[in-house]
Structure 1
Amino acid sequence: MKYKYYSSVGIWRRWMGGILASMLLAGLSNCQSSAGEAIAEQQSAVLSARATTTDSAVAVVEASLPDSLRLTPIAPLPKLPDSVRRAVQNLYAQLGPEAAGLRLPVLERACVGYLNLRQTGRVSHPGVLAVADMDLPSSEKRLWVLDLNKGEVLQHSHVAHGRGSGHLRAEHFSNVMKSACTALGFYRTQDTYQGKHGLSRRLRGLDVGQNDNALRRYVVLHAADYVSKQHVQRYGQAGYSRGCPALPPDLYRAIIHAVGEGGCLYLSGPGLESKWLDGAVAARQFATQGWK
């Protein structure tokens, strides 16, 4: 089955990410506090090796995959100030092996959007960012909840896409009512309520024309049996929602609490454009507030 070949890519990413992260930590532990420049150089070298080695090896593996399983390339954001780019690269190095499957360009866009939204006050939960790479197949754990200040992965999970978006991979995205599609873009996490799926958290879409029907479509974070470990193991992928980023029953409460109310959720995917990817605004916000 095709998904098994792709899953091997994910396993390889996590294994290699773990080895390189261990190298980084070992190197840092051997440095004295007075050797700040040496630490920074070593961290930069390991980050570069991690990105180059992982990308090169994955490119070789993906070259043998059918077109339907090849990820969509993401170009770095143009005109992004070096201060923000370096901050994201440092964060990426800190996150370690649990974030090995999170592509750096996806993280970069998520962080820039978070900084823009913090600057405008549209998200109010400081230092927490949830990122889902919906270009990855649903057989992979493609949702990360990050603590930006500590450089930690709080949660890492499978997440469903809408049945109108595709099968193993989501290929179609829509903001249209009753489309049963996933809608890409930035979301503000809203209040919680008890619904037919138990504890759920509402989502407000912040990209006009792309996901701003989320509240009217009842797109929420909720638990679903079709995202459980057992379902993924049996069928080789998660099942489908009606457009919600549905979560595993054993993790949904932890994820819903981790993102909090007023948090930032970024659903990344092919073709996404957002006005919240303004590098100049992100740089001003980071210079004054950091990740707060």
Structure 2
Amino acid sequence: MGTVSCQSVGEKSQPTAANVSVLPPVLADTVKPIAAAPADSLLPTVLAPVPGLSDSLRREVAALYQALGAEAQALRLSVLERACVGYLTLRHAGRIGRPRVLAVVDMDLPSTEKRLWVLDLSKKQVLHRSYVAHGRGSGQLRARRFSNRIKSACTALGFYRTADTYGGKHGLSRRLHGLDAGQNSNALSRYVVLHGADYAGQDYLNAHGQLGYSRGCPALPPEQYRVIIKAVGEGACLFLSGPGLESKWLDGATAGRQLAARGWR
């Protein structure tokens, strides 16, 4: 497999207040409208409860959320809950190999917010928090469309397993395996990877009022990408949350059994 990654489009389509997307959220593969906040609102979508989630697991996630402290205040509890359920279910299935580390991105937040968190579940710590860019095809200030299709230039939601690193056009990059069939399973074919990009950093945000766009990669700030890529490591769980996501890994009953048997290991 080659080492091509998604390309920068930030310098080709600088965002302005006049061209902020107001498209309704859509999963581009199904062209299905998703219930969401009004198009002119920056309020995130209300997420449905996770099926089969026990009170004990809900309390454990709530305790984790409280322990994470101020750095996790902008991480919605409902997103963290889904991320933890998916992590535990994937650990139970043997689909991820790096215990305790969980990376969460809330793509329902605007790109002006630091919407990526790397967590140590056992120590209940936020290891890193940063900006992250979404795909050009997904929208502008907010990601409103998502797709698994090759050449869609869209972000694809769902659970990923982090893979190996390589030196690409953006420097150190980490490949991603999409674990949700039909939603992000083309990640390797699309060269969707973690990498750094100038259009994902604070300087670009200061100059343009929002981040630029990738071609589907969760691109990271140039001042943080190396440390984040190394901290996540190989075999870890990365969760890209957004409106309309459905995943078989959101199995509250299985997640509860895994937590009872092995904790966050």
Same fold (TM over 0.5): yes
Distance 1:161 1:70 in 2: 18
**Equivalence for 2:105:** 132
**Equivalence for 1:198:** 171
Per-residue CA distance 1:4-39 (angstroms, 9 max, x = gap): xxxxxxxxxxxxxxxxxxxxxxxxxxxxxxxxxxxx
Distance 1:70 1:110 in 2: 20
**Equivalence for 2:27:** none
Equivalent residues in 2 for 1:106-145, closer than 5 Å: 106-145=79-118
**Equivalence for 2:243:** 270
Q: Is structure 2 residue 73 aligned with structure 1 residue 100?
A: yes
Which of 249, 254, 264 does residue 281 from structure 1 map onto?
A: 254
Q: Relative to structure 2, which stretch is displaced further, 145-154 or 70-79?
A: 70-79
**Equivalence for 1:40:** none
Per-residue CA distance 1:166-224 (angstroms, 9 max, x = gap): 00000000000000000000000000001111100000000000000000000000000
Distance 1:2 1:192 in 2: 36
Q: What are the ranges of 5 or more consecutive residues in structure 1 without an aligned counterpart?
A: 4-62
TM-score, normalised with respect to structure 2: 0.85
2:108 touches 2:241 (CA, 8 Å); kept in 1? Answer: yes
Q: Relative to structure 2, which stretch is displaced further, 70-79 or 203-212?
A: 70-79
Which of 194, 209, 212 does residue 182 from structure 2 map onto?
A: 209
2:166 touches 2:174 (CA, 8 Å); kept in 1? Answer: yes
SS at match of 1:69: coil
2:51 touches 2:250 (CA, 8 Å); kept in 1? Answer: no
Distance 1:104 1:207 in 2: 22
Q: Relative contact order: is structure 1 or structure 2 higher (C-alpha 8 Å, sep ≥ 6)?
A: 2
**Equivalence for 1:161:** 134
**Equivalence for 2:230:** 257
Per-residue CA distance 1:65-108 (angstroms, 9 max, x = gap): 97342211113223311121111000000000000000000000
SS at match of 1:164: helix
SS at match of 2:146: coil
Aligned length in residues: 232
**1:288 CA displacement:** 0.8
**1:236 CA displacement:** 1.2
SS at match of 2:161: strand
- Aligned-pair identity in percent equals 69
Distance 1:128 1:139 in 2: 25
**Equivalence for 1:86:** 59
**1:2 CA displacement:** 6.5
TM-score, normalised with respect to structure 1: 0.77
**Equivalence for 1:171:** 144
Runs of 4 or more consecutive aligned structure 1 residues displaced over 2 Å after TM superposition: 65-68
**Equivalence for 1:50:** none
Q: Is structure 2 residue 213 aligned with structure 1 residue 240?
A: yes
Q: What are the ranges of 5 or more consecutive residues in structure 2 without an aligned counterpart?
A: 1-15, 19-36
**1:118 CA displacement:** 0.5
Distance 2:139 2:102 in 1: 26
Distance 2:56 2:42 in 1: 34
Q: For the aligned residues, what is the CA RMSD? A: 1.6
Equivalent residues in 2 for 1:1-150, closer than 5 Å: 67-150=40-123
Q: Whose radius of gyration is greater, 1 or 2?
A: 1
Distance 1:161 1:272 in 2: 16
Q: Relative to structure 2, which stretch is displaced further, 229-238 or 217-226?
A: 229-238
